Amino acid sequence: MSTKAKASKASQRGSRHLLRRLLGDRRGGTAIEFGILALPFFIVVFASIETFVAFAGEQLLANATDTLARKIRTGEITFNQGKSTDMDQAEFRQAFCDEIAILMTCSATEVDEPEKLYLDVREVADPSEFPVAVPRVDSAASSDLDTSGFQFSPGAGKDFTMVRAYYRWQVITDLVRPYVTNLRPAGSSMPHDYLMVATATFRNEDY
């Protein structure tokens, strides 16, 4: 066998040996696998955390609504009755903000143009007049909230009253946003926020 043939054969054996070594070398395999799985893993983690926090926010909003509604029902909060318990709209909003401040942001100064928290407090002549649907600017399921009819008129003793709170919850995780958002701001083509809603209807006590 010629020297050239021997060299070629040796080179082939060396190449096969090197290939076997590379295929059998598991060093760094864990890092590569982690790199492949890290993105979907963290997406699931962040989505789970955001879902949990949003659920906690909904419960907080519902609890605040129930708390303020109970105070109206029992006369601890009144409106325009010349009593020490009277609150105007800004004071009521601040009281509501205080109830949710641990997790949500709002301000009493946003009475005229709220950014996140919207409150509708009204009396009705008959329970059948309580609104049951979320008011929206058009018929689209994710259209913006229509606040033009919102009021602050809690009523007096024995009046039927409704307290309804709406909160714009910002969804942080981009890949989750299209599946959980239900509120499209005016002028936007895509929903951005998740609209939380809490309602309490009752008849005021005779105070």
Q: Band of the pLDDT at 20, cuts 50, 70, 90?
A: low
Contact between 130 and 123 under an 8 Å Cβ cutoff? The reply is no
In the predicted model, is pLDDT for residue 18 greater than 70?
no
- Assign 37 to helix, strand or coil: helix
Cα distances (Å, whole numbers) of residue 63 to 23, 86, 125 = 60, 22, 26
Q: 0.75 exceeded by the pTM? A: yes
What distance lies between CA 178 and its chain's CA centroid? 13
In the predicted model, is pLDDT for residue 170 greater than 70?
yes
Single-letter amino acid, residue 92: F
Q: Band of the pLDDT at 199, cuts 50, 70, 90?
A: very high
**CA terminus-to-terminus distance, the chain:** 115
| pLDDT given at position 61 | 97
Q: What share of the chain has pLDDT > 90, as a percent?
A: 42
| pLDDT given at position 47 | 81
Residue of 27 and 140 predicted with greater confidence: 140
H-helix or E-strand spanning residue 167: strand 160-170
